[in-house]
Amino acid sequence: MIEVQGLCKTFDGFPALNNVSINVPKGSIYGIVGPNGSGKTTLIKHMVGILIPDQGTIRIEDEEVYDNPAVKKRVAYIPDDIYFFPQDNLDDMVSFYRRVYPEFNMERWQKLLPVFSLDNKRALRRFSRGMKKHAAFMLTLSMMPDVLVLDEPMDGLDPVARRKVWSLLFQDVAERQTTVFVSSHNLRELEDVCDHVGILHRGEVVLERGLDELQNNIFKLQMGFHGEAPDFSSLNVLADNRVGSVVQLVVRGERERVLQQAAALQPLMLDVLPLSLEEIFIYELGGLDYEISTAII
């Protein structure tokens, strides 16, 4: 659905994106994670056609996004720092968006109004940051987009509002096969909602996987041994921790095969413990540097 190929961008010589390639399947929720300055917002601004790439392409269903109104009409974007015309209220913005987006759905707008309880006659500049996010979601969802690109969408929202927003997004994904591309530095939040995750570090995608694939490929094994622990070289061990005769191993590999190899070591006890997405990233990217692991916790 969304295909970014070899995207490069420099700002006055500083490489903001370096050969970034990602694939976002249709109807998926794709989370892009990275520390501040890793290039998330730059990537997103390319995906919605704001910035001109130095190199590379961004396509949605095989069509270039940049300078292509036909594609951009199907893409809705909520930036981290939302801009509304200074004098406008919600009604003004609705009338503007109705002229711009022919698909703008007034029926849905009317349904969303009571959900967020915003005063549609009040100037938007007087709204709080959270209220502006509410307004942006209402407008965006009413555009009935095929692709939603969200830059740190939940910043400034309270937990109740977050739940409301995610619930509406899930509804769109389920009913309309909407594709959602969301950036965040909060991995815990993405863990609950994303089915694909990419991690961006210093302008480069260092990892991109489906969540299932990630979670079925790395495990924490807890084993007890009588006496000296055996040699674990038969396993692909990413980390190990030994407390007395109890050993905790983080192991990469296919689940059944890993369990068979572990059982062959004849432990007194063998448990498979769940790993959080955060832990998976730390172990997967442990070789890069400390910065990533601190940023994504």
Residues that bind other proteins (CB under 8 A): 11-12, 45, 48-52, 67-70, 72-73, 75, 77, 79, 81-85, 87, 92, 96, 99-101
What does the alpha-carbon distance between residue 230 and residue 162 come to, in Å, rounded to a whole number? 48
**Residue 231 beta carbon to other proteins: minimum distance, rounded to whole angstroms:** 54
Cα 187–Cα 133–Cα 30 angle in degrees, nearest 5: 35
Q: Under 8 Å CB-to-CB from 124, ≥6 apart: which residues?
A: 84, 85, 88, 89, 90, 93, 132, 135
Of the two residues 128 and 233, which places its CB atom closer to other proteins in the complex? 128
**Residue 42 beta carbon to other proteins: minimum distance, rounded to whole angstroms:** 8
Of the two residues 69 and 114, which places its CB atom closer to other proteins in the complex? 69
The DSSP element (H or E) to which 233 belongs, if any, is: none
Of the two residues 132 and 185, which places its CB atom closer to other proteins in the complex? 132
**Residue 52 beta carbon to other proteins: minimum distance, rounded to whole angstroms:** 6
Q: What are phi and psi of 224, to 5 degrees?
A: -115, 140
Contact assessment for residue 197 and residue 188, using Cβ atoms and an 8 Å cutoff: no
**Residue 83 beta carbon to other proteins: minimum distance, rounded to whole angstroms:** 4
Of the two residues 43 and 295, which places its CB atom closer to other proteins in the complex? 43
Of the two residues 50 and 270, which places its CB atom closer to other proteins in the complex? 50
Cα 10–Cα 15–Cα 19 angle in degrees, nearest 5: 95
Contact assessment for residue 139 and residue 118, using Cβ atoms and an 8 Å cutoff: no
Cα end-to-end span (Å), the chain: 29
Of the two residues 68 and 186, which places its CB atom closer to other proteins in the complex? 68
**Residue 73 beta carbon to other proteins: minimum distance, rounded to whole angstroms:** 4
**Residue 6 beta carbon to other proteins: minimum distance, rounded to whole angstroms:** 19
Indicate the pairing of strand 218-224 with strand 269-273.
antiparallel
